[in-house]
Structure 1
Amino acid sequence: MSTMVNLSRIHFPITTLGPGRRIGIWFQGCSIRCPGCISMDTWVQGRGTTAVDEVVQTVAPWLSTADGITISGGEPFDQREALFDLLVRLRARTDADILVFTGYPWTAICEALATSPSVIDAIVCGPFDIDETQTLALRGSDNQELHLMTPLGRARFASFERRMDERDRSFDVMFDDNGDVWLAGIPARGDFRRLRHILEGGGSTLGTSEDTRFPSL
């Protein structure tokens, strides 16, 4: 029987969460719930329940052309069994690199990673901290750590051990069947506020999934 997993969405291609054209898989449900998170819609548990087999079948047509796979959330490590089941199945089907984002600190996940070596090439770990600076590539706040786990991870992600620059100031735009628009990427502080002002200036409106308890964003 296939492991069950709660997912928010799947999209291909994305280009802003790692190098190249990537498959993006967002887990649904997060127990960490960092203040100021841009993805409050992924916090609620129990939505988007499906089988890991179904996820693999969905992404299978893209695997031959994808440069990498990025798994985010929500919080992937809240569904640890499903996460590693999915990772093992994907690793068996592709040579693309696998990047995982988690809000858990390294000390909380390193033991689990040691039991399944080589299924993750790179991992960004640590909670988003709204009070931290944001100067590093591929990270929402500078307390987050990028760990390169495999030779492939080091080859693909060593270039992200740098300060953020204009290459990182971009988003992928995704459209759902119901007309919702999703942005994939790592926004700088205030990006959503600036986007709202631009749209409202043109007569449009914007509703976001960010944690709006922090208007300085």
Structure 2
Amino acid sequence: MTASIALSRIHFPVTTLGPGRRIGIWFQGCSIRCPGCISMDTWAPGRGITTIDEVVSAIAQWMPTADGITISGGEPFDQPVALMDLLGRLRSLTEADVLVFTGHPWIKIRETVDAFPGLIDALVTGPFDVNQSQSLALRGSDNQELHLLTTLGQTSFGSFQRPITEAERTVDVMFDDRGDVWFAGIPGRDDFRRLREMLENAGAKLSTSDDKRASSGGMSAR
């Protein structure tokens, strides 16, 4: 029997969370809940329940042309068994690199990662901190760390051990069947606040997962 997994969404292509055109997989449910996170919709557990077989079937059409796979959330390591089961399946089907984002510190999830060597090529660890500066590539706040765990990870992500460039402060825009709009990427700290204010000033009525109207307008990087 295939394992169950709680997912928020999948999307292809994602071009802002790692190199190339990537398959994006967002887990549903987060125990960390960083202040300023733009993905509050992925916090609640018990939603989006599916099976790993169904996930693999859904993304199989993209596998031949995908340069990599990025897994975020929500919090992937809140579902460690499902995460590793999914990664094992993906590794058997593609040679594309795998990047995983987690809000847990490295010391907390290292034992789990080490028990399944080779499944994750690059790993961004640590909670998003809205009060930290935001100057590093692939990271929403500078307390987060990028770990290169395999030779493929070093090849694909070694160039991201550096400051972020302005050209990288972009987002992918996604639409679902209900007309909801999703963003993925590493925007500037106040970018989404300014966008929201512009749309509201133009008369738009918005319902967002980020319902915090703090002046910091903090946004996470995934």
Give TM class, smaller chain. over 0.9
The answer (yes or no) to whether the contact 1:103–1:126 under 8 Å persists in 2 is yes
Unaligned 5+ residue runs, structure 1? Answer: none
Deviation, structure 1 residue 211: 5.4
Moved more, 189-198 or 46-55: 189-198
Q: Distance in 1 between matches of 2:131 and 2:122?
A: 25
The answer (yes or no) to whether the contact 1:22–1:70 under 8 Å persists in 2 is yes
User: How many pairs are equivalent?
Assistant: 217
**What residue is the counterpart of 2:220 in the other structure?**
none
**What residue is the counterpart of 2:181 in the other structure?**
181
Moved more, 74-83 or 159-168: 159-168
**What residue is the counterpart of 1:214 in the other structure?**
214
SS state at 2:69 partner: strand
The answer (yes or no) to whether the contact 1:36–1:211 under 8 Å persists in 2 is no
Q: Distance in 2 between matches of 1:38 and 1:14?
A: 17
TM norm structure 1? 0.97
Q: Distance in 2 between matches of 1:39 and 1:134?
A: 18
Deviation, structure 1 residue 213: 5.9
Counterpart amino acid of residue 13 in structure 1 = P
The runs of at least 4 consecutive aligned structure 1 residues that moved more than 3 Å come to none
**What residue is the counterpart of 1:194 in the other structure?**
194
Counterpart amino acid of residue 43 in structure 1 = W
Q: Distance in 2 between matches of 1:165 and 1:101?
A: 20
Q: Distance in 2 between matches of 1:134 and 1:211?
A: 22
**What residue is the counterpart of 1:15 in the other structure?**
15
RMSD: 1.1
Q: Distance in 1 between matches of 2:213 and 2:33?
A: 13
Deviations 1:9-32 (A, max 9, x none): 000011000000000000000001
Q: Distance in 2 between matches of 1:68 and 1:12?
A: 10
The answer (yes or no) to whether the contact 1:35–1:211 under 8 Å persists in 2 is no
Q: Distance in 2 between matches of 1:3 and 1:175?
A: 28
Q: Distance in 1 between matches of 2:211 and 2:134?
A: 17
Identity %: 66
Counterpart amino acid of residue 116 in structure 2 = S
TM norm structure 2? 0.95
The answer (yes or no) to whether the contact 1:39–1:74 under 8 Å persists in 2 is yes
**What residue is the counterpart of 2:169 in the other structure?**
169
